[in-house]
Structure 1
Amino acid sequence: MTTLDHMMAHLRNYFMHGNIEDPMAEARILVGGIMGLTRTDFITKAEDHIPLEHEIAIHDAAGRRVRGEPVYRILGKRGFYGLELKISDETLDPRPDTEVLVDLVLDLLEGRRNESLDILDLGIGTGAVCLVLLSELPNARGTGTDLAQGALDTAAGNAALNGLASRFGTVRSNWFADLSGRYDVIVSNPPYIRSDVIPTLDREVREHDPMLALDGGTDGLDAYRAIAKGAARFLKPAGLIAVETGFDQKDSVRNIFEQAGFDAVAAAKDYAGNDRAQAFKIKN
Structure 2
Amino acid sequence: MKRPAGMSNQALEFIRTASTKASWQEKIILLEFVSGLRMPDIVASEFDLSPVMKNEYTRLLIERDSGKPIDLIIGKKPFLDFEVNIEDGVFIPRPETEELVENTLIRLPKDPQIIVEIGTGTGVISLALARKFKDARIFSTDISSRAVALAKRNAEHLGLSDAINFFEADLIHFSGSEILKGKVNLLISNPPYIPSSRIPHLDDEVRLYDPPLALDGMDDGCSVVRRILDLSIDYLSPDGLVSLEIDGLIEKPLNSYLSQSTLEFKKGVDIRGNLRFLYASLHENSFSIQ
Give, in whole Å, the separation in 1 of the partners of 2:49 and 2:135.
Answer: 44
Give, in whole Å, the separation in 2 of the partners of 1:26 and 1:95.
Answer: 17
Local SS of the residue matching 2:194: coil
Give, in whole Å, the separation in 2 of the partners of 1:96 and 1:3.
Answer: 33
Residue equivalent to 1:10: 14
Question: Would you say 1:100 and 2:96 are equivalent positions?
Answer: no
Give, in whole Å, the separation in 2 of the partners of 1:240 and 1:165.
Answer: 25
Give the CA deviation at 1:243: 0.3
Residue equivalent to 2:194: 193
- Counting matched residue pairs gives 274
TM-score with structure 1 setting the length = 0.87
Residue equivalent to 1:58: 57
Structure 1 residues 65, 280: closer, same or farther in 2, change over 3 A? Answer: same
Of the structure 1 ranges 185-194 and 25-34, higher mean CA displacement relative to structure 2 is found in 25-34
Of the structure 1 ranges 6-15 and 160-169, higher mean CA displacement relative to structure 2 is found in 6-15
1:72-111 aligned at under 5 Å gives the runs 72-109=71-108
Structure 1 residues 31, 142: closer, same or farther in 2, change over 3 A? Answer: farther
Residue equivalent to 2:273: 273
Contact 1:34/1:75 (CA < 8 Å) preserved in 2?
Answer: no
Contact 2:134/2:163 (CA < 8 Å) preserved in 1?
Answer: no
Larger radius of gyration: 2
Contact 1:241/1:281 (CA < 8 Å) preserved in 2?
Answer: yes
Q: Cα deviations across residues 39-63 of structure 1 (Å, max 9, x unaligned)?
A: 5345434x41245544333222111
Give, in whole Å, the separation in 2 of the partners of 1:277 and 1:133.
Answer: 17
Contact 2:194/2:215 (CA < 8 Å) preserved in 1?
Answer: yes
The percent identity for this pair of structures is: 29
Contact 1:175/1:227 (CA < 8 Å) preserved in 2?
Answer: yes
For structure 1, the residue ranges without an aligned partner over 5 or more in a row are none
1:1-284 aligned at under 5 Å gives the runs 3=7, 6-7=10-11, 9-15=13-19, 17-18=20-21, 20=22, 23-41=23-41, 43-45=43-45, 47-109=46-108, 112-113=110-111, 117-178=113-174, 179-180=177-178, 181=180, 182-250=183-251, 252-253=253-254, 255-257=256-258, 259-265=260-266, 267-283=267-283
Structure 1 residues 84, 275: closer, same or farther in 2, change over 3 A? Answer: same
Structure 1 residues 193, 41: closer, same or farther in 2, change over 3 A? Answer: farther
Q: Cα deviations across residues 15-37 of structure 1 (Å, max 9, x unaligned)?
A: 3x23x4xx112112222334444
For structure 2, the residue ranges without an aligned partner over 5 or more in a row are 1-5, 285-290
Local SS of the residue matching 1:273: coil
Local SS of the residue matching 1:166: coil
Contact 2:220/2:250 (CA < 8 Å) preserved in 1?
Answer: no
Structure 1 residues 257, 136: closer, same or farther in 2, change over 3 A? Answer: farther
Q: Cα deviations across residues 85-128 of structure 1 (Å, max 9, x unaligned)?
A: 11122311101121110011111136x34x6x211110110011
Local SS of the residue matching 1:60: helix
Moved over 6 A (4+): none
TM-score with structure 2 setting the length = 0.85
Local SS of the residue matching 2:199: helix
Give, in whole Å, the separation in 2 of the partners of 1:245 and 1:109.
Answer: 19
